[in-house]
A and B are shown apart, each in its own frame.
Chain A
Amino acid sequence: MPAHPTTIDEVSQCVLDHPHVLPRGANTKPALSRTNADVTPLDLTAVRGVSAYDPGEFTITALAGTTLQEIAQTLNEHGQWLPFDPPLADAGATIGGTVAAGLSGPGRLRFGGVRDFLVGVRFIDGQGKLVRGGGTVVKNAAGFDLPKLMIGSLGRLGILVELSFKVFPKPESFTTLRVDAPDLDAAIDLICRLTSEPWDLHALDLEPPATLYLRLAGEPASLPQRIARLSDTIDHPAAALTDVDGPTWWDDANAFTWAPADTALVKVPLTPKRIAALDAHLESAGATRRYAAAGNVAWIAWPSAAPLDGLDQHLSADQLSGLVIRGDAQRIRLGVDPARPFMQRVKTALDPTHRFPDFS
């Protein structure tokens, strides 16, 4: 039976009351919150609400169960936003789950991912005690950087209860350009070239085999000319999407609506030049996939019919790591994990009694 704490103190009490616990938010990333019989799920959705928001300061603090939608609405009233473009907002994802899963959306290309905007955390450790790291100011070098450590901690190092972010002004307008490269290699070459040049691309996603979606953001008067100048440097067919189609394409990308229902969704960090080798594997396995953030992350919809072991082997052979977000997998980590020995030390320090599950 899941426990339903409503306050930070209750979260702490739940940790003390159960031998093994795992927090969950809105369950939009079910693979990450799946529990064995001996582990009590802690539903954090009632520990919610914006605790502090100072528009003039460009910082916001919210309890972990607050939905991304609520935060976006609050910020939007003042023309602000979380620039890392957190995914699965429409599905109801919470801010705590987003940080714990370490997920950022396509717009992370421009100013950075969730790790670049989280400035403070409060979490409950394996002893049920509240720990604070960082603070609420935008710059802070006091003590070890616990906020960064909790990015991607998957509820296995502690239960995030409150998070503080720096936020940015939201760009006034966006334009999307669709480019049809002749083949995957040409698309990858174009990714490398464009990101080495000062185009200030807001987002750049690749839909195999060879379609690129480029997004520019900024001041409305300057956008048409920026797009025109950018298109001039591209030899392949290119066309701007309409003001309806453009935003819809990115919303769909960030909601993973392109991933077929009967698949496991896997995140794989990589670099543009490693796409070709991986893509060949994925094509032959019949996996739908996209490469986001200028070829820095593959999102793979792996067919449920095929065991994830197959993907795991490919990733290991390519020295890549993967995280299963959705799907039936009994495991969440795939491929290699070079940081494991370092992280094992951290885990032992923060959760000596194994109150939270392991990372595997």
Chain B
Amino acid sequence: MDAARLMPWLAERFGPDRLLTEPGQLAPYESDALTAFAVTPRAVVLVQSADEVIDTVRICRDTAVPFVARGSGTSLSGGSVPVEGGIVIALNRLNRVLKLDPDQRIAVVEPGVTNNAVTDAAQPFGLFYAPDPSSQQICTIGGNVAFNSGGAHCLKYGMTSNHVLAIKAVLADGDIVEMGSDSLESVGPDAVGLFVGHEGLFGIALEITLRLVPRPEAYHTVLIGYRSTAEAGDAVAKIIATGLLPGALEIMDRLALDAAEASVNADFPPGAQAVLIVELEGAHEQVAVERQQLTQIIDQTNPTQVNVAADAAQRLAIWKGRKCAFSAVGQLSPDYIVQDGVVPRSRLGEALQRIEELADAHQLRCANVFHAGDGNLHPLILYDGRQSGAMHRAEQLAAEILTMCIEMNGSVTGEHGIGVEKREFLPRMFSEHDMTVMRRLHHAMDPAGVANTGKMLLPEPAEQSAAAMQSA
């Protein structure tokens, strides 16, 4: 590392307003939404143009100082935590929608544009950007691309990757690369597909071409109360088995409902131990028929209550109650871990049962709110960090839940990524050679190991253990 050369270069290039080095200025950048990990960066630069990003990457390469690209820092896996001794390249000011072509349904954006800003720009044309992470008000497209982020509506339309058409990026060694085009189709290997989900290890996306979709003509959104999470899970299996293809299928358990109620005044069925949210969408006539089918299925699942959204406002209220769940859990507990794992969707009931048993064994409370249609679980493990050993027990529980996901042939992450948090788990899902191939791909893009190094892939000789990063 040759930071002695780097700092004066940054000072000259960015000036005191856009080069942050004071402890008070750096504090907000020490962690992301997974607060258990914190590292104070050497400096933060607030970039305002793609050229500034490129030049900063190149000086980092030349001086061997690691960098971490940062959008809004909402990563839940430690993805945007700084690297020891490295700098943070903050991209929020690169927030322009560069082009919007409603006829061909394409938006070209800078990486710091927020997810919601894309939909806002598309709205006047009856279009929207489909992937909808609960953090969509603040998270950036750059972050979404790095993590292949999902959301409640990915069941039908897929994740971020399914909506990115082209990317221009600076690789970690300073080369500028382009991939993809404006077209939905492509020839040759799917370079865009490989880049999405790279977790910041390949370099920095500078320009992203997104696909927009027409807003559905009709929605039918229902919130159904059940006496147990297992009953809600069984209802999901029944709905899927009939051949309906809902836009979203989400479950919240009692604890998650308590949190949401405390936070946004949501109107959930009293006494229900779990709710299932089902949303049908599409052409009026199609939705009208599917709606009848859905009603028939729900009648057979012994619900405690069925609330149908009568208008757009009620629909939004249901979604607000769902999407606030992560942050609302803060109302129930001083500390919590948001987990993210995937199991085969036909084994959801079994997985939930197991999570409950594991939580009981650790004497911890665990709220569940998840993308049931995809089998993507989000157990929220509540603990009080002031109690000695509590955090350790919470981490232990999280690890046991992930182990269960692996044993069920699922995945340790559906959408939040590996980051720092799950590096030890990746080699348990993949063979040694699979890991070698991933390392080689990483090395091909970042020979000097400066881009978000140490994330996703454990440092090769275990120079830096997770414990060492855990200075918080």
Contacts and interface: CB of A to CB of B under 8 A. Distances in A.
B412 to A, nearest CB: 6
Contact of B193 (A115, A142, A338): A115
A32 to B, nearest CB: 11
Interface in A292-346: 293, 296-297, 321-323, 333, 337-339, 341-343, 345-346
B49 interface: no
Contacts of A272: 103-104
Nearest to B201: A144
A152 B126 contact: no
A72 interface: no
A148 B433 CA distance: 19
Contacts of A154: 188-189
Interface in B414-428: 414-418, 422, 426
B303 interface: no
B314 interface: no
Given A143-B429, A148-B196, A339-B191, 19 more contacts: A56-B241, A57-B345, A102-B189, A137-B345, A137-B410, A140-B342, A142-B411, A153-B189, A196-B103, A198-B217, A226-B285, A271-B104, A296-B184, A296-B185, A342-B178, A342-B191, A343-B191, A346-B441, A359-B189
B9 interface: no
Nearest to A345: B444
Interface in B265-286: 282-283, 285-286
Given A152-B189, A333-B187, A338 B179 contact: yes
B103 A133 contact: no
Contacts of B443: 349
Contacts of B444: 345-346, 348-349
A168 interface: yes
A34 interface: no
B142 interface: no
A219 B290 CA distance: 8
Nearest to B409: A136
5 contacts: A142-B413, A144-B442, A145-B196, A296-B183, A339-B189
A132 B430 contact: yes
Contacts of B198: 144
A341 B344 contact: no
Interface in B197-217: 197-198, 214-217
A276 interface: no
Given A104-B185, A196-B127, A198-B216, A139 B103 contact: no
Contacts of A56: 237, 240-241, 346
| Among B103, B162, B182, B413, residue most surrounded by chain A Cβ atoms (within 10 Å) | B103
B226 interface: no
A185 to B, nearest CB: 13
Interface of A: 54, 56-59, 79, 102, 104, 108, 111-113, 115-116, 125, 129-133, 135-154, 156-157, 168-170, 192-193, 195-200, 218-219, 221-223, 225-226, 267-273, 293, 296-297, 321-323, 333, 337-339, 341-343, 345-346, 348-350, 359
Contact of A345 (B158, B288, B434, B445): B445
B145 to A, nearest CB: 12
Contacts of B195: 342
B457 to A, nearest CB: 9
Interface string B119-142: 000000111000000000000000
B101 to A, nearest CB: 8
Contacts of A57: 344-346
Contacts of B244: 169
B331 interface: no
A337 B187 CA distance: 9
B104 A192 contact: yes
A341 B203 CA distance: 14
Contacts of A141: 147-148, 150, 159, 197, 411, 413-418
A38 B102 CA distance: 50
Contact of B190 (A79, A102, A108, A130): A102
A47 to B, nearest CB: 20
What are the 4 A-B residue pairs with the smallest beta carbon separation, nearest first? A148-B193, A222-B285, A169-B243, A323-B187
Contacts of A221: 285, 289
Contacts of B147: 141
B180 interface: yes
A321 B181 contact: yes
B114 interface: no
Nearest to B168: A338
Most buried by A among B282, B290, B416: B282
B143 interface: no
A17 B195 CA distance: 33
A8 to B, nearest CB: 14
B193 A151 contact: yes
Given A142-B426, A221-B289, A271 B241 contact: no
Given A56-B346, A169-B244, A342-B179, A337 B188 contact: yes
B312 interface: no
Contacts of A113: 184-185
Given A143-B418, A152-B188, A198-B215, A350 B285 contact: no
A253 to B, nearest CB: 15
Nearest to A216: B283
Contacts of B418: 141-143
Given A57-B346, A341-B175, A345-B444, A143 B183 contact: no
B188 A359 contact: yes
B249 to A, nearest CB: 12
Contact of B438 (A108, A139, A144, A148): A144
Contacts of A323: 187-188
Given A57-B345, A195-B105, A149 B188 contact: no
Interface in B313-368: 342-346
Nearest to B211: A112
A215 B227 CA distance: 43
Contact of A151 (B171, B190, B374): B190
B289 A271 contact: no
Nearest to A194: B214
B344 A137 contact: yes
Contacts of B264: none
A229 to B, nearest CB: 8
Nearest to B177: A342
A142 B283 contact: no
B154 interface: yes
B437 interface: yes
A165 to B, nearest CB: 13
Nearest to B187: A323
A141 B196 CA distance: 10
Contact of A222 (B162, B216, B288): B288
B245 interface: yes
A151 B103 CA distance: 28
B228 interface: no
B220 interface: no
A192 B344 CA distance: 38
Contacts of B442: 144
B371 interface: yes
